[in-house]
Every structure is written in structure tokens, then in C-alpha cells.
Amino acid sequence: MKRPAPPALALLGLAALPLLAQQPAAWVAPKEERQRANPVANSDEVQKRGRMLYQRHCAMCHGDKGKGDGPAARLHAERSKRAPQDLTDAKVQAGMTDGEIFWKLGSGFKEDAQIIMPSFTEEIPKDEDRWKLVHYVRALGAQK
């Protein structure tokens, strides 16, 4: 016969419910976007352009080397309750396809009215350039 949980444990379980409700939403690309392959062939020139775009638009939060430690990372984490991702982390790299990275660069991410990551379609209007940035993000993962 199972014994009921002590009241203190039951209260802890109930107290955790609001915390569970406040967990950040998942940011997952639609299936068709995840399945997209990068149409841009990788090369030294592609990496050079991708690096320039990364430095201009991403390093502020993700850091020069992609570790999520850019100059705005701490403020971003305090404001959004989400730290910028470490793009060198093998789990992060393995968890996203090239198509998903491309989609995230274009769609951005908001929770309620708060921008977690902006869309870069205006700042990087050419799809080809965003695909080059995808190649550079992949190179950050390979550096580890």
C-alpha cells in the first residue's frame, strides 16, 4: 500500500506549478523549414562574408567566438530570462539543421511583446547572405 506524500512535499509540488507555467516556449522551425538544405556552397569567400555578417549582427550577444558571451549577453539574459546560446556547443549544433538556423535568422523570436532574438531579414535582406551566415555558424561549432 502506497503512503501519501508528506504535506510539505505535496506543497512543494504545488509550488512548482507556477514555475512550470513560466518555462520559456520552444523555438522550433516548421518541419518544411528544417528540411531545407543550404543552397550555397561553402568556400573561403563564403566563410569570410559569413564572419563579417556574424560580427556585425550576432557577436553582440553570441560573442566573437560564438560562446554566448558577447558584451550584451548578460543584459540580454537578465531582460529575457534566456542567455544567448553557445553556438560552439555540440548539442546546439546537432539540435538544428541548416534550414532551421536560416529560418531562425529570418523569423526572429518573440515571447509576448519581448524580442528574444530579432529577425534579420531587413538587416540581411539577401537569402544568399543569410545562408552564408549559416555556414559561418556551423564553422563556430567545428572550432571547439
CA quadruple 82, 105, 98, 27: dihedral sign: positive
Domain ranges within the chain, ordered by starting residue: 30-142
Assigned CATH for 30-142? 1.10.760.10
pLDDT (tens digit per residue) in 63-119: 999 999 999 999 888 888 889 999 999 999 999 999 999 999 999 998 888 888 999
Element at 77 (helix H, strand E): helix 73-80
Q: Please report the pLDDT score of residue 76 as a whole number.
A: 85
63 SS3 class: coil
Whether the model clears a pTM of 0.85, i.e. scores above it, the answer is no
Give tens-digit pLDDT for 23-76: 455 788 999 999 999 999 999 999 999 999 999 999 999 999 999 999 999 988
Residue 81, Ramachandran bin (φ over 0: left; ψ between -120 and 50: alpha; else beta) = left
